Amino acid sequence: MKKILLLLCLCLFIEEVASRELDKTFQLLPQPQSIELTSGKGINYWELSYILSSDTTSIPILGDMLNKLPRCPRKGKPIRLQLTSQHVPASPEGYMMEINEKGVCISARTMTGIFYGCQTLEQLMEDSRDFNILIPAMLIIDYPAISYRAVHFDVKHHLDRMEYYYQEIDKLARYKINAVIWELEDKLRYTRRPEIGAPNAISKQEMQALCRYANERNIEITPLVQGVGHAGFILKHHWELRENPDSDWEFCPSDPRTYD
């Protein structure tokens, strides 16, 4: 009897250690506010075979794995998306995700919350695929601790091809960044002052298209516009507006032409 109890304790210990290691396998960035492991078997990523939305919910922009799934019932287990005010975070960017052996349900107050829930699910599915393990049965409740989550693009010294910035927007959305502060300087083609724009400057149409792409992924692009100082990209063309003729750093604030 003692041997049986000892063996049982050893098995439980091994199972607990394995469970802890399993938890370490799934790396969610950013870490959700709350993850509660629930009873049940869990689910493999390949068992999730289609996506359904409630009558009032459209399907947001999806990552590579989720975007391959059909939007109609078929054999397998579903991912259900629903807008609701019941049992979900008060934040418009929050969501609740329930995962069990029957499928996945993502609930939120807004489509922004649905979008972020899908981004989290995509990370779980990738780890399930890459490590060949079940996604555990769990309840995730998540919402941002900071409402404005911005990164800074500074392109005054180097500008990449536009496709690079589209890829960056996808990466930022994946990690729930919701703003880009873009320091453009001479990397935009100015209509009324074309001499200021660099030879490889972005056209206004290209920037508008990128802004629309970002907005679809809940990212707002804001231009960083320089003030009286830090204006070398303009004053290297317009010496007459310099405060100091030997420096292109700052405008002359007492010259009316500065404001024109």
User: pLDDT digits over 209-237, tens only?
Assistant: 999 999 999 999 999 988 899 999 999 99
- Per-residue pLDDT for 96 more than 90? yes
In the predicted model, is pLDDT for residue 247 greater than 50? yes
Residue 191 has pLDDT above 70, yes or no: yes
**For residue range 41-54, what is the model confidence (pLDDT) as tens digits?**
999 999 999 999 98
Give me the mean pLDDT over the 243-256 stretch.
94
Instruction: Sketch out the chain's domains with CATH numbers.
Output: 28-142 (3.30.379.10), 150-259 (3.30.750)
Distance of CA 15 to the CA centre of its chain: 35
Check whether 72 has a pLDDT greater than 70. Answer: yes
pTM, 2 dp: 0.85
* Nearest to 226, CA basis, from 185, 198, 182: 185
Contacts of residue 119, defined as CB under 8 A and 6 or more positions apart, other chains included, come to: 63, 173, 174, 175, 176
What's the mean pLDDT in 66-81? Answer: 95
Tokens 């989550």 belong to: 149
pLDDT surpasses 60 at 16: no
Rounded to the nearest integer, the mean pLDDT of the chain is: 90
State the pLDDT at residue 23. 58
- pLDDT given for residue 2 in this prediction: 43
**Exposure b/e, 22-44, CB count within 10 A at least 16 = b:** eeeebeeeeebeebeeeeeebbb
**The pLDDT of residue 1 is above 60:** no
pLDDT recorded at residue 260: 86
Confidence of residue 144 (pLDDT cuts 50, 70, 90): very high
